[in-house]
C-alpha cells in the first residue's frame, strides 16, 4: 500500500509531508508541513500537537499532498495559503504582489512616530502592507499607497476593503503626484542579474525586486522627488545602508538615522529635514 493511498494519523501525515519538503531542500520543512496541514483542516497550528493521534480524512490527506507538491516546487507558503500576517493584520497575497517581510515592519514603526493627522504615502505598496498596518494602528493619519503595478493596487484595494481601512491606493510611478508630510517605501533594491533563491526568483514579481545595475535606480529617482516631505524611511538591501544614507543627505535630509532588523542588519534609512 503506498503512503498516498491510505490516510494516516495527523502526526504521521505531517511527518511524511515534512520529509518530502526536507528532501526537496526546504529549510523550514516542519513548520511548512504543519502550516499546510492546518490550512487543509481549517484549524490552528496548535491542533497539530493536540490532535496528533486523530486520523486525517482521505480527502484532506489528498489535498495536503497537493499543497506539499506545490511547496516542493518552491512555491512560497504565503502564496499557497493566500495570506500573510504583517504586524497585527492579515493580508491576502498572491503572485501579483511581493510577500511582506518582517523587516518591513520597521517602516511602520517610523510611521507610528509621526504627528497626529500627518499625510503619509507608502510608495511601492504591493499588497498594501505598510499603509494598511499603519492605518490599523494610527487611525488619525491620512494614509495612501501607490504602486506602478495595477495588479498590486488591485490586491491592496481588496485588502483595504477586507480590513475595513480607509486608505487610498493609486496606480502610478513613485509618488504619483501625491503631496504628503512623510514617505515610507520598500521599493525594489536588488541589483539586476543578482541570483535569488528559487522561492523568490520563480514566484515573486520581478518589478518588485530588481532596480538597475546597483539596485538603487528606483530609490535614487524617489529621493529626487521629495521636496516638501519632512520624513522619509527607505528600506534597502544588506549592503546598501551607506549608499542610501548618502542619497538622503545629498537630497537635503540633515538628520539620517539607520535602523536594524531583528538579525542586527541595517535595513532602513530614515531621513528628517
Q: How far is the CB of 224 from ligand SAM (least distance, A)?
A: 12
Distance CA 93, CA 95 (A): 7
* Smaller CB separation from ligand SAM, 26 or 148: 148
Residue 91 CB burial class (10 angstroms; 0-12, 13-18, ≥19): buried
Q: How far is the CB of 93 from ligand SAM (least distance, A)?
A: 9
* Smaller CB separation from ligand SAM, 56 or 152: 152
Q: How far is the CB of 192 from ligand SAM (least distance, A)?
A: 13
Which residues are at the interface with ligand SAM (CB under 6 A)?
98, 100, 104, 123-127, 129-130, 146-149, 152, 173-174, 186-188, 207-208, 218
Q: Name the pairing type of β-strands 255-260 and 168-171.
A: unpaired
Q: How far is the CB of 139 from ligand SAM (least distance, A)?
A: 21
Query: For the chain, where are the alpha helices, taking DSSP H only?
Result: 10-23, 29-41, 47-50, 58-72, 77-81, 105-112, 129-137, 150-163, 198-201, 217-223, 241-250
Q: Name the pairing type of β-strands 89-92 and 83-86.
A: antiparallel
* Smaller CB separation from ligand SAM, 14 or 78: 78
* Smaller CB separation from ligand SAM, 1 or 263: 263
Amino acid at each position: 500500500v503506498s503512503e498516498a493511498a491510505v490516510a494516516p494519523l495527523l502526526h504521521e501525515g505531517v511527518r511524511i509531508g515534512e520529509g518530502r519538503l526536507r528532501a526537496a531542500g526546504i529549510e523550514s520543512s516542519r513548520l511548512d508541513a504543519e502550516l499546510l496541514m492546518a490550512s487543509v483542516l481549517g484549524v490552528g497550528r496548535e491542533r497539530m500537537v493536540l490532535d496528533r493521534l486523530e486520523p486525517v480524512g482521505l480527502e484532506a490527506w489528498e489535498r495536503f499532498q497537493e499543497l506539499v507538491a506545490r511547496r516542493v516546487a518552491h512555491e512560497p507558503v504565503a502564496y499557497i495559503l493566500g495570506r500573510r500576517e504583517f504586524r497585527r493584520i492579515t493580508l491576502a497575497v498572491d503572485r501579483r504582489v511581493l510577500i511582506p517581510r518582517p523587516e518591513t515592519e520597521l517602516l511602520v514603526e517610523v510611521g507610528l512616530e509621526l504627528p497626529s493627522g500627518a499625510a503619509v504615502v507608502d510608495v511601492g505598496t504591493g499588497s498594501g502592507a505598510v499603509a494598511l498596518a499603519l492605518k490599523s494602528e494610527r487611525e488619525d493619519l491620512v494614509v495612501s499607497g501607490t504602486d506602478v503595478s495595477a495588479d498590486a493596487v488591485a490586491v491592496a484595494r481588496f485588502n483595504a476593503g477586507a480590513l475595513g481601512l480607509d486608505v487610498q491606493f493609486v496606480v502610478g510611478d513613485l509618488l504619483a503626484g501625491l503631496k504628503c508630510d512623510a514617505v515610507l517605501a520598500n521599493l525594489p533594491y536588488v541589483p539586476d542579474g543578482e541570483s535569488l533563491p528559487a522561492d523568490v526568483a520563480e514566484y515573486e514579481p520581478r518589478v518588485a525586486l530588481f532596480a538597475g545595475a546597483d539596485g538603487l535606480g528606483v530609490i535614487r529617482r524617489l529621493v529626487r522627488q521629495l521636496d516638501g516631505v519632512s520624513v522619509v524611511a527607505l528600506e534597502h538591501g544588506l549592503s546598501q545602508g551607506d549608499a542610501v544614507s548618502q542619497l538622503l543627505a545629498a537630497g537635503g535630509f540633515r538628520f539620517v538615522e539607520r535602523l536594524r532588523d531583528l538579525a542586527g542588519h541595517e535595513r532602513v534609512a530614515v531621513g528628517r529635514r
